[in-house]
Chains A and B, each alone.
Chain A
Amino acid sequence: MRSLLLPLVLGLAALAGAARAADLPALWAERVKSTVAVEYTVQNENDRHPTLAYGVVIDGRGTIILPSAAIDQRLATSQLRDFRVYLPGDPTGYAGTYLGQDVYTGWHFVRVEEKVRSRLTPITAFARPASPVPALAEELWGIGLRPKEEDFMPYLLQSHLALIQSLPQKTGVTQQEVAGPGLPVFNREGAFVGLALSSFGQTFMQFSEGNRGGEAVILVDLEESSAFQLADEVLPNLGRVPRNVDGRPLAWLGAYGLEPMDRDVASFLKLSAQSGAVVSEVLENSPAEKAGMKPHDIIVAIDGRPIPRFRPDRVVTDYVEREIERRRPGDVMALTVLRGSDRIELKATLGDEPKLVREADRTYFDRLGFTAREFVYGDAVARRIKVGEGGGAIVRYVKPNGPAALANLQSDDWIQEVDGAPVRTYAEAVAKLAAIEKDPLRSEFVLLVRRGSDTAILRVKLR
């Protein structure tokens, strides 16, 4: 008898809440159909681990978007395997295909197999014309999904809007968690008002405090988020489905190390009511270099529009980066820069970004105990050398306690010589290493590696 009492009391409490929004159950039932959980496997050299994320359906073709943080940016797309899409409350996993990431929104796109598409409702069905901007203190609600062992059962989250900020995307912050990260947020009428972000810290204050030179301290709640991007930032970008899994082309300027300025600096430079971003370095052969940009230039306007001021100041660098990302290679970007006391107009024709580390070719040598990858443009930048001086291979992974690890090879070491002979290209390095790997009589080999500004000769003993 006693065991029945508690559920009864809880049930009453739930009823009291529901009474305040009599229409919510109907709105809920429809809108849950736009949410999914997505599971995929990250395949590493010696292990694999499943990863979970939440997503929202955006069209009738079964396209799903996942938040930026759902997939580690450093992973090669070839490491992302076995995408499974789960509908709330249904333990069946349906096959999904990874379509790639859009760099401007950060979203990852996944498409689910055809047979389940009819059970899904795109979020656009709940979009209202002139997407409503929620008002301060307005009551908002969203959907959370329980863990896999509970079949991703949907549950209700509800809160009030506390703040809207430009970061630089218009972002709403609620008093408590309002939806699972990547899942939609609605108003009382059921209109889509935004998409929950990969959660901020446990408190927004911790996230927003400036911490120059360091990473923001974030205690992330992986299950629920109290921040969301407004519908205005979401709906116009739903068409940005990547053309290929690498998300190419990627617009590239080549202004490296953008740094924000605070308002004291802005007013000292007579930039009233606006801001700017300092360019630390101008990369070799980049569109910025070709346009005549110099290190320490301060970007103060793009296409004639002054760079706005943000709170906090450091958002300005994201703003400039997004201005580049939303364009395409070939687009001309007019940049106004301050150089000393001169104001200079530059015109940069954006390029396609050189091959990224995650796109670099790689080969795992199990017997040697490490993965070598192609030397790419970013490796030259990181090592402050001319691109032409690069080449050979970079160590990407070292198998714990393997032969290479015992010889003190470390990830990010730059392999310059194998057995005393220089390796100028990745192909050359791989050919030499593969020959050693295949030779059962080999008992050792010697690598010359560069690590920071030091070099070391390592003797790797094979057993």
Chain B
Amino acid sequence: MKHSLRGSIFARRAGLAALLALTAPLRAAVSHGFTQLLDSVVRIDVNEVSYDEGAKRFEASIGSGVVLSADGLVLTNAHVASPRAVEIHVTLPSLEQVDARLVGWDHWTDLALLRLDMADVRRRRLSFAHSQFGDSDKLFPGETVYAVGTPFGLTRTVTRGIISNTHRYFEGELNLEGYETGNFNTWLQTDAAINPGNSGGPLVTEDGRIIGITSRGYLGANNLGFAIPANVARTVVDGLVRRGEITRSYIGIEPKALQDLENFYALALNTGTLINNVEAGSPAARAGLRVGDILLAINGSKVDGRFPEQLPPIQNFIASQPVGSTLVLTVKRGTKVSDVRVTTERLESSVGEECELDAWGLSVRKVSRIYARQNQLADDTGVVVVGVQPGFPADAAGLASGDIITKIDRQPLVSLEVIKRALAAYAAKPGPTLFEIERDRRVSLNILKP
């Protein structure tokens, strides 16, 4: 059983250390909005597929969510409900349980949208309330907020705190089962108690408006919780309702805060951002952008990346342009300022499709174009070993997680279909099978025997 909450260390299988203490009753001013909010927070039980252990396994986890509409849309975290989910059960505030399906997810912002089985809701005459977003841009540090959710499976737990920081920046991308998160927004920080299982639940103001979706906390720290701002969530929800997915543009640059480098680059303060990395093979690289260039403007709009907190909006601006559109980047290199035209590509995850190869005791993930690019592979041929089951042929032959299988019986693994065909052939007539493996650039041959 997993209680979902992301932290610096993932809270996987956290033990239920239920420490019950007697405290004075909370005397909050209970507004109508707040009551309605309490009646819209749900518990979410998810059963999902996992390939981590060399085979297809099922894993249960608990999270929280909030109902957004009378027609049963429920917002939660992407790390609570993902396409790996095979069963999603939602426990309504009335404690009645109803099934839900995934409408869509967006791992970059860690948000997922569910739809309750409304036919079942009507048949059983179940009722629930729904809540509305507030404006997360209007929050101020010190403002009182409440987190509502299911910490450690304790349904409908309300905790209180304040906004500790309105724009917390996390450098780099945070990974969620290999999926990328966090380049396009800053986070709300709160000291309201947030524990594993709170994930996906709302962070609300006293009037019951949703100003954030609780997402992660530092484990082992005291009261350092983080939430996705409502204004980010609102846009993502709109996109998921309309298209079932969020499409973003990608050009392959990583900006860095200029912070005190303005002198060196002969710039006025609050002008431009430093291009700290250009991904090889990306549209920006093909357009000739280089590390050390200063990005001054995009399509004529001025860019200001003096501080790290200002970087996610820049990334988000690029991401929100239509895929395939041409951006005019105004770039300063040395003393020269010029316009560079970059045509965007669709942003993709490095995580490829997964499957299990039961007869060999292996689970694998297709090498994606992005994975190949990030790992300097020649192309996207091959599959990455995700898990190996002890005692099975792959284990006996010495395969390990992270190995890339490039060929089976001399057949290049250009798709998962090729590997599935090889498995079927093996299952029909088990015999020694030749695997070509790449590990740390070293190529070796291995025989998998029945």
Tell me the B residues contacting A by CB distance below 8 Å. Answer: 256, 260-261, 264-265, 274, 276-278, 280, 291-292, 334, 374, 376, 397-398, 400, 410, 432, 434, 436, 438-447, 449
Contacts and interface: CB of A to CB of B under 8 A. Distances in A.
Nearest to B274: A457
Interface string A378-405: 0000001000000000000000000000
A349 B276 CA distance: 44
Contacts, number: 78
B280 A457 contact: no
Contacts of B292: 417, 420, 448, 457
B443 A457 contact: no
A457 B291 contact: yes
A264 B260 contact: no
7 contacts: A213-B398, A259-B445, A278-B444, A280-B442, A448-B291, A453-B374, A457-B292
A330 interface: no
A446 interface: yes
A459 interface: yes
Contacts of B397: 264
B445 A278 contact: yes
Contact of B449 (A260, A264, A384): A264
Given A259-B445, A261-B444, A459-B261, 10 more contacts: A213-B398, A257-B443, A264-B449, A278-B443, A295-B443, A453-B374, A455-B291, A456-B276, A457-B261, A457-B274
B432 A420 contact: no
Contact of B442 (A259, A265, A444, A448): A259
A296 interface: yes
Contacts of B376: 384, 453
Interface residues of A, number: 33
A340 interface: yes
Contact of A213 (B260, B440, B445): B440
Given A257-B442, A296-B436, A420 B264 contact: yes
A457 to B, nearest CB: 6
Contacts of B291: 448, 455, 457
A268 B264 contact: no
Interface in A252-294: 257, 259-262, 264-265, 268-269, 278-281
B434 A296 contact: no
Contacts of B434: 265, 268
A261 B445 CA distance: 6
A268 B442 contact: no
Interface in A117-147: none
A280 B445 CA distance: 11
A212 interface: yes
Interface in A146-181: none
A446 B266 CA distance: 13
Contacts of B449: 264
B366 to A, nearest CB: 21
Interface in A397-419: 417, 419
Contacts of A47: none
A260 B443 CA distance: 9
A209 interface: no
Nearest 7 Cβ contacts at the A-B interface:
A264-B447, A259-B444, A280-B443, A455-B291, A257-B442, A265-B445, A280-B442
B256 A457 contact: yes
A213 B447 contact: no
Contacts of A212: 398, 444
B276 A259 contact: no
A419 to B, nearest CB: 8
Given A257-B442, A278-B443, A455-B291, A268 B432 contact: yes
A213 B400 contact: yes
A375 to B, nearest CB: 17
B442 to A, nearest CB: 4
Contacts of A448: 291-292
A455 B277 contact: yes
